[in-house]
A and B are shown apart, each in its own frame.
Chain A
Amino acid sequence: MKTGVSRRTIGVAAVLAAFMAVPLVPFAEPAPRQAHEDPNRADIDVVVSGTAMRQIPIAILPFVLAPQEPAAIRDASDLIRKVISDDLSYSGLFNVLPPSLYNAVTIISGRVPFRDFAALGAQGVVAGSTIRDSRGLAVEGLLYDSKTEQLVAGKRYRGDAALARDIAHRISNDITIAYTGKAGVSLSRIVMVGKVGGAKEIHVMDYDGADIKQITRNKSLNVSPAWSPDGKRLAFVSYRQGNPRLYIYNGDDGSLHDASPSGSELCIAPDWSPDGKRIAFSSSSAGESEIYVLDVATGRSRQITFSRGADTAPVWSPSGREIAFTSDRSGKPMVYIMDAEGANVRKLTGSGDANDSPAWSPDGDKIAYAGELNGRFDVMIYEISTGRTLRLTQNAANNENPRWSRDGRHLVFSSNRTGIYRIYTMDANGNRQEMIQTPFEATMPDWSR
């Protein structure tokens, strides 16, 4: 779906030639923190691939513009820099140094003054240029190391000017990969259910809340959306034909098909297997709600739970070998784990009045869920290796439906803490709980891989 931008790696020589620098203005004051950052979080150690790593101090220079560029190009250039800065700050991996310290730098000749940036404490220096192009924009995003003075990563993106945010997210992702070896959340999206009039429709937005798109328009109830692992398809439940049925929306061609196995009623809570070939869901075809696994290619499904209680909300482990789900077989809803074939069922959480909406972390060691205490739900995390339970939200409202970001550093969830349900994201330790502005009541988020 994110198309129209071609990527091309460009050589170091060409890159350096593009940058002409003058010395930086003196650095007068210590860096003020960005307003939205928790002061206690600035120096937190973040865990990357099992090793502790400090936040990487990084400076993002204004992108170079030719003098005669029209306002639209200049605006796009400013937007790209801002989005990169927001992305890197949001990731939690970087400490983006305040632009006020180097905003005045105009690079007119020579090179990027790496020593000055090193003195400022910037390990990475992001620079780039934005020029008009036959396609709209040609944007170079370049990452340097201030000590080695070498280009770490550099690409040129070309595309329509309307894709400026998209280009910025791609550059952020390149920078994240350069430091961690893995993609971050910059290019990810969040699907959710938005209340439109009396209907509930599926909507998709960028992870930062930009570019909200309405996917369904059937004025019915459309709920429980789930991203396919490749981010191209959505499985969800729709009442558009009366009974709740399972549908798959293909983002590549906008097609929609009814994926409900024949004879099944009340198909709810779909979740894709990590290989994208199967969908676990629950259905009450056999009386009580039980869990089934659908083979997407053949359309055949198999029942895998046979309990007396209601089994629902299945989610796959990242290995695809296990499924976590909610069951009230013991009297109240609790989270259980079983093998993907349905064997070896064991109860995972026993505390609280009710536990529901499990979500398996990408590293496989944690299960987030909504835990009920005294009539209210909070987002909790159960650590499988330690048996520890962490409570991430604590306020006088419901916090539900947690889903992990692809890098496991963040969670998205819904909360009615303002009186109306909205989508929120937070760090995996519960910090930085931020609401995403939507023009409608929003619930049931899922974060794309």
Chain B
Amino acid sequence: MMEKVSRRRFSVHVLALALAGILAVSPGCKKKPQAVTTTPEPPAAQNSGPSETVNETPLKPIVDEPVTPRSMGAAEYNSQGLLKAVYFDFNKFDIRPDQRPTLQANADKLKADPLSRFKVLIEGHCDERNTNEYNLALGDRRANAVKQYLMTLGVPAARLRTISYGEERPADPGHNEEAWAKNRRGEFVLEEG
């Protein structure tokens, strides 16, 4: 029925009238569209100005809709890199003194909005030295060491989960000390609560 109406050049008033008709009939859908097609008759068109000017006339009342920032999910916060990785010494899983400020900053962010509603996956990673299987165990310990530290800083254990990737997901694919230092790390991934 809209097709029928729109093909003809009607003034906006007529169109509005037609729409009103449609809106009036559509609830319940008892009446069929034929009733509407009779409404747009030429006489109504004569007392309106050029159709260009009436485009500004609203077809229906404007409804105020407050626009708020789109709610960001864990994935979007993760892409912002809000939580910084922490790094470990070779074969070690204790938190280095120089890494404590990073963990403190991460804990502060996790306890405040907007991150306070997320859970966190702590990933333990290793460099390629040591065997794959030992590194899986070492990565697990690193993740747990980070978890314990965050807990002492007041992040509830229920929000923290750990996983070890061993040496399987290096941050730097290189085979030198510079790469290894980047790969011995704990990373943080926000998860929906």
Residues of A near any B CB (own CB < 8 A): 200, 221, 223-224, 239, 242-244, 266, 268-269, 282, 284, 287-289, 310, 312-313, 326, 328, 332-333, 354, 356-357, 370, 372, 375, 377, 398, 400-401, 416, 419, 443-444
How would residues 153 to 193 of chain B score, 1 for a CB under 8 Å from any chain A CB and 0 otherwise?
00000000001111011000001000000000000000000
Is the pair B141, A400 in contact by a Cβ cutoff of 8 Å?
no
Query: Which parts of B91-147 form the interface with A (CB within 8 Å)?
Result: 91, 128-134, 136-138, 140-141, 144
In the assembled complex, the Cα of A100 lies from the Cα of B164 at a distance in Å of 56
A–B Cβ pairs within 8 angstroms, 20 of them: A223-B136, A242-B163, A266-B164, A269-B136, A282-B137, A284-B137, A284-B140, A289-B140, A310-B137, A310-B138, A313-B133, A313-B134, A332-B91, A333-B130, A354-B91, A354-B134, A356-B131, A357-B131, A398-B129, A443-B132
When distances are taken between beta carbons in the complex, the residues of chain B under 8 Å from A377 are: 131
A414 CB, nearest partner CB in chain B, Å = 9
In contact, B137 and A354 (Cβ under 8 angstroms): no
A221 B140 Cβ-Cβ under 8 A: no
Q: Kindly list chain A residues whose C-beta atoms are within 8 Å of the C-beta of B137.
A: 268, 282, 284, 289, 310, 312
Contacts of A370 in B (CB 8 A): 131
> From DSSP, what is the main secondary structure of chain B's interface residues?
mixed
Within the complex, the shortest CB–CB distance from B132 to chain A, in Å, comes to: 6
Residues of chain B touching chain A, judged by Cβ–Cβ distance below 8 Å, are: 91, 128-134, 136-138, 140-141, 144, 163-166, 168-169, 175
Cβ contact within 8 Å between B141 and A268: no
Tell me which residues across on chain A come within 8 A of B168, comparing CB atoms: 200, 221, 223
Please report the C-alpha to C-alpha distance between residue A328 and residue B134 in the assembled complex, in whole angstroms.
10
B136 touches A401 (CB 8 A): no
Determine the residue in chain B with the shortest Cβ distance to A333: B134
B139 nearest in chain A by CB position: A266
Closest 9 CB pairs of A and B: A289-B137, A310-B137, A356-B131, A269-B133, A313-B133, A312-B137, A268-B136, A357-B131, A284-B140
Q: Within 8 Å CB of A282, what residues of B?
A: 133, 137
> When the two chains form their complex, are residues A375 and B163 in contact, meaning their CB atoms are under 8 A apart?
no
Q: Which residues of B contact A443 (CB under 8 A)?
A: 132
Q: Do residues A310 and B141 form an inter-chain contact, with CB atoms below 8 A?
A: yes
Chain A residues within 8 Å of B169, by CB: 221
Is the Cβ of A224 less than 8 Å from the Cβ of B132? Answer: yes
Q: Looking at the assembled complex, report how far the CB atom of B89 sits from the nearest CB atom of chain A, in whole angstroms.
A: 14
Chain A residues lying within 8 Å of B133, measured Cβ to Cβ, are: 224, 268-269, 282, 312-313, 326, 356-357
